[in-house]
Amino acid sequence: MSAVAVWVEISEGRLKKPTLEVLTAARQWADSENLPVVAIALGADFPPNLTASLGEYGADRVIRLKGPQLEPLVNSAYARALAQLMRERQFSYLLLPQTYDGRAIAPFVAVWADGALLSGITQPPQREGSTLRARRIAYSNKAIEWIATDHLPVIATLKSNSIVPAKNPRVPTEEELAYTPLPEDLRLKSVGIEKVATDKVPLTEAEIVVSAGRGLKGPENWGMIEELAKALGAATACSKPVADVGWRPHHEHVGQTGIQISPNLYIAIGISGAIQHLAGVASSKNIVVINNDPEAPFFKVADYGIVGDAFQVVPQLTEAIRKYKEQHAH
């Protein structure tokens, strides 16, 4: 059965946004080629409503590969299972989220399923005869690249925040199989997982990100950034110089050598917009720049710009957003 297969990433018992995006893209892709969407989940245990949730976002069939040794995740074990399924069932396509683990699993599957890998695509690929075309971002957001392959199967990873998750409900068929990883996939042993203690949304999944830089003058001034982020339900981020001097933790650093993000709204406060910073954030859908220097290069990629003193503008903006939200709470 040819199909668009999807690797379903489950984190802390739920489907994360990148997986919903991948399901949505897979549905569009499958419809354009008259194929079913097969969602494949691997794990030791599954959330009770998994099949229903996957059906809501367009899965026609759900395959659960279950085994006590599938948690914590080992990239090669997951890849071997996915490649085996692809071969046995003759799936033409596999789509994965371009997350930490999705990116590690995809190249393995490409080799073991003898496929072509399209990495970091921003929309479902399009077929023209024997050629499959896809779009991705290149050279630090300075170009769009169109790539193509004539090979089958195709394994692809979808860049996060490239498409908006859309429901397309149906009642999927389901299947559960036992899976035991090969000994060679258990060479890598997890000793422990430490989550960064935060009640905030992970940066890579956040729809809104409030980010600040050297213009804030010191770590003691981040309170107003946190306040604004709280008012917006946003994640906080920072520029590289700020992380380098230790004003903010490194896991908040966005930019070329930090985390690359493309939220719906990015608010840059006191960040000049060095090219290395823009490389990590320029694909954000909407950019607000607050800077007291009207010549700051960041304004060149801004959608909205405020030339003004952050210490005055930010608290006012927080207050205005709170008011707006109170008025529109219902």
Partner 1 sequence: MKILCCISHVPDTTARIQFTADGKALDRTGITFIINPYDDFALARAAELKEKNPNGVKVTVLAVGKNGAQSTDSVDANLRKALALGLDEAVRIDAEPVDAFFVAHQIAAYAKDKGFDLILFGKESIDYNGAQVPGMVAALLNLPFVSYATSIEIQDGQAHLTREITGGKERLSCALPLVLSAQKGLAEWRIPNVRGIMQAKTKPFQVVPPVSVAPRVRTLRHEPPPPKGTFKKIDPENIQELVQELANKGLI
Q: Which of residues 129-168 bind partner 1 (CB under 8 A)?
A: 133, 136-149, 151
For residue 40, the minimal CB distance to partner 1 (Å) is 18
Stretch that binds partner 1, among 41-49, 53-61, 63-71, 282-290 (CB under 8 A): 282-290
Write out the two tokens for 190: 């997890």
Q: Which of residues 20-49 bind partner 1 (CB under 8 A)?
A: none
Write out the two tokens for 186: 């258990």
Q: Which of 183, 193, 220, 330 binds partner 1 (CB under 8 A)?
A: 193
Q: Which C-beta is closer to partner 1: that of 49 or that of 312?
A: 312
For residue 30, the minimal CB distance to partner 1 (Å) is 21
Q: Which of residues 57-86 bind partner 1 (CB under 8 A)?
A: 72, 75-76, 79
Interaction between residue 106 and partner 1 (CB under 8 A): yes
For residue 330, the minimal CB distance to partner 1 (Å) is 15
182 Cβ neighbours under 8 A, 6+ residues apart? 77, 80
169 Cβ neighbours under 8 A, 6+ residues apart? 55, 56, 58
Q: How far is Cα 20 from Cα 88, in angstroms, rounded to an integer? A: 26
The separation between CA 318 and the C-alpha centre of its own chain, rounded to angstroms, equals 27
Q: For partner 1, what does the binding mask look like between residues 296 and 325, x meaning CB under 8 A?
A: ---xxxxxxxxxxx--xx--xx--xx--xx
Amino acid at 226: E
Q: Which C-beta is closer to partner 1: that of 104 or that of 163?
A: 104
Q: Which of 196, 199, 246, 326 binds partner 1 (CB under 8 A)?
A: 196
Q: Which C-beta is closer to partner 1: that of 217 or that of 250?
A: 250
Q: Which of residues 225-244 bind partner 1 (CB under 8 A)?
A: 232
For residue 328, the minimal CB distance to partner 1 (Å) is 8
Of 38, 129, 131, 42, the C-alpha closest to 91 is 38
Q: How far is Cα 151 from Cα 140, in angstroms, rounded to an integer? A: 27
Stretch that binds partner 1, among 21-29, 37-45, 115-123, 173-181 (CB under 8 A): 115-123
Q: Which C-beta is closer to partner 1: that of 90 or that of 198?
A: 198
Q: Which C-beta is closer to partner 1: that of 195 or that of 330?
A: 195
Q: Which C-beta is closer to partner 1: that of 51 or that of 119?
A: 119
Phi-psi region of 246 (alpha: psi -120 to 50; beta: other; left: phi over 0): left
Q: Which of 45, 90, 198, 223 binds partner 1 (CB under 8 A)?
A: 198
* DSSP state string for 222-281: GHHHHHHHHHHT-EEEE-HHHHHTTSS-GGGBBSTTSB----SEEEEES----HHHHHHH
For residue 179, the minimal CB distance to partner 1 (Å) is 18
Taking CA 257 as the corner, what is the angle to CA 98 and CA 307, rounded to the nearest 5 degrees?
A: 105
Q: How far is Cα 171 from Cα 49, in angstroms, rounded to an integer? A: 12
Q: Are strands 10-11 and 126-128 parallel, antiparallel or unpaired?
A: unpaired
Of 262, 302, 53, the C-alpha closest to 137 is 262
For residue 213, the minimal CB distance to partner 1 (Å) is 17
Q: Which of 194, 220, 295, 326 binds partner 1 (CB under 8 A)?
A: 194
Q: Which of 81, 210, 228, 265 binds partner 1 (CB under 8 A)?
A: 265
Q: How far is Cα 120 from Cα 99, in angstroms, rounded to an integer? A: 10
